[in-house]
C-alpha cells in the first residue's frame, strides 16, 4: 500500500486485524494513518474495547 489510507480503509483494516494478521505494508499504512488522524485513533480504541468486552462475554458463555 503506497498511498495514504482513508478513514474508511483504516476502519476496515482495524476490523480485519481482529480476524487475521495484517501484512507488513498494511500494518505500516495503518500505523501511519493512526498517527495523523485523531478520529481513527478514537475509533481504534473503541473497537479495541468492544472486542475485549465481546471476548470476555464469549469466554463466560454469554450469547450476544
What are the pLDDT digits (tens) for 3-38? 899 999 999 999 999 999 999 999 999 999 999 999
Question: Residue 61: what pLDDT?
Answer: 77
Q: Is the pLDDT of residue 63 over 70?
A: no
Do 1 and 31 meet the contact criterion of CB atoms below 8 Å apart? Answer: no
Name 29's Cβ contacts closer than 8 Å, sequence gap at least 6. 1, 4, 5, 13
Cell representation of residue 42: 478514537
Q: Is the pTM of this model over 0.85?
A: no
Q: Is the pLDDT of residue 1 over 60?
A: no
Q: What is the C-alpha to C-alpha distance for residues 51 and 16, in angstroms, rounded to an integer?
A: 12
Amino acid at each position: 500500500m503506497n498511498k495514504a489510507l482513508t478513514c474508511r480503509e483504516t476502519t476496515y483494516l482495524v476490523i480485519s486485524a481482529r480476524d487475521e494478521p495484517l501484512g507488513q505494508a498494511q500494518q505500516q499504512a495503518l500505523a501511519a494513518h493512526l498517527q495523523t488522524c485523531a478520529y481513527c485513533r478514537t475509533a481504534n480504541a473503541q473497537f479495541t474495547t468492544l472486542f475485549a468486552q465481546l471476548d470476555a462475554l464469549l469466554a463466560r458463555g454469554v450469547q450476544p
